[in-house]
């Protein structure tokens, strides 16, 4: 059995974060494990509370897993603050790491800050160089490169700038562009474009989490990065098409449809 680990925040409503990641791993037939960085109280309309965990609690979770179990890939999501990032990076130093897919989660679709300002610098300096792939959305890529993005040409420019920050591959996701859902991958030499039709369904909660954990699951199963992203993009497209309403705000993507 292949394994995958998510290091992320808990979303009690089950659409994003740890809960969305574990559903994605299960749908890929990969054994999922989790290290929780923060507990959020959120639903389809808002994030009402966030409690970052103490760094020691995060380090101990990582040690418990790596001291005993072979980890075939890691997905990293919500990191929340600088102390948490430092704890993870310091604990990682004791282990041989598999490929890491990092979704630099900064803000929820419902508008709540999920990464404190002073933590952005730490992610870039300490985390990006450890990663096989980073998967910023348009807003995150704009923030990280300080450049506006409105089309695929701008996405390529952002990919080049982000690549210089140390990750081996960069995927800029186009879900927030108006009339396309094109994602752009850059490996330092070549671009790969994943161009799917935009789906008209507001129930897209957890798309970024599901995409990055699907990529990690595919890497666990031995896929290279280009194919892992292609398969994950097919997965998320179907999951968005099947997204459903469960509350008064936008609902989650669907991990349970026939594929």
Ligand X SMILES: Cc1ncc(COP(=O)(O)OP(=O)(O)O)c(N)n1
Using CB under 6 A, count the residues that bind ligand ADP.
18
Between helix 207-220 and helix 17-27 the angle, nearest 10°, is 40
Grouping H, G, I as helix, E, B as strand and the rest as coil, residue 33 is strand
Residue closer to ligand ADP by CB (options 71, 217) is 217
CA distance 143 to 156: 15
Cβ neighbours of 81 (radius 10 Å): 18
Quote the least distance from Cβ 242 to ligand ADP, whole Å: 12
CA triple 29-34-40, angle to 5 deg: 120
Grouping H, G, I as helix, E, B as strand and the rest as coil, residue 176 is coil
Which stretch in 39-47, 49-57, 156-164, 198-206 sits in contact with ligand ADP by CB under 6 A? 198-206
Is residue 50 involved in binding ligand ADP (CB under 6 A)? no
Lay out the site mask for ligand ADP across 225-254 (x = CB under 6 A, - = otherwise): --------x--xx--x--------------
First to last CA, the chain: 21
CA distance 207 to 252: 8
List the single partner that 233 binds among ligand X, ligand ADP, none, CB under 5 to 8 Å by kind: ligand ADP
Cβ neighbours of 195 (radius 10 Å): 12
In degrees rounded to 5, what are phi and psi of residue 225? Answer: -65, -45
- 209 catalytic? Reply is yes
Quote the least distance from Cβ 65 to ligand ADP, whole Å: 25
Among the listed residues 174, 206, 242, 251, the single catalytic one is 206
Interacting residues toward ligand ADP by CB under 6 A: 137, 173-176, 181, 183, 196, 198-199, 204, 207-208, 211, 233, 236-237, 240
Q: Which residues are catalytic?
A: 173, 204, 206-209
Interacting residues toward ligand X by CB under 6 A: 8-9, 11, 15-17, 40, 77-78, 105, 108-109, 114, 205-209
């Amino acid at each position: 059995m292949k394994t995958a680990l998510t290091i992320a925040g808990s979303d009690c409503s089950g659409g994003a974060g740890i809960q969305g990641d574990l559903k994605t791993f299960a749908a890929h037939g990969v054994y999922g494990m989790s290290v929780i960085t923060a507990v959020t109280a959120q639903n389809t309309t808002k994030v009402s509370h966030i409690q970052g965990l103490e760094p020691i609690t995060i380090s101990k979770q990582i040690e418990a897993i790596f001291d005993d179990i072979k980890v075939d890939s890691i997905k990293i999501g919500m990191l929340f603050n600088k102390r948490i990032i430092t704890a993870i990076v310091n604990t990682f130093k004791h282990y041989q790491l598999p490929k890491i897919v990092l979704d630099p989660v900064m803000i929820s679709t419902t508008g709540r800050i999920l990464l404190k300002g002073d933590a952005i610098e730490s992610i870039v300096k300490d985390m990006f160089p450890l990663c096989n792939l980073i998967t910023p959305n348009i807003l995150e890529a704009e923030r990280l490169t300080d450049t506006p993005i409105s089309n695929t040409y701008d996405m390529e420019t952002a990919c080049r700038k982000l690549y210089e920050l140390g990750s081996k591959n960069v995927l800029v996701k186009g879900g927030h562009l108006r009339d396309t859902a094109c994602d752009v991958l850059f490996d330092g030499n070549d671009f790969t474009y994943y161009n799917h039709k935009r789906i008209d369904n507001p129930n897209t909660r957890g798309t970024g989490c599901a995409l990055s954990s699907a990529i990690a699951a595919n890497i666990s199963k031995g896929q290279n990065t280009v194919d892992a992203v292609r398969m994950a993009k097919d997965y998320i497209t179907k999951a968005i098409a099947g997204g459903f309403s469960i509350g008064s705000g936008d609902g989650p993507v669907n991990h349970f449809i026939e594929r």
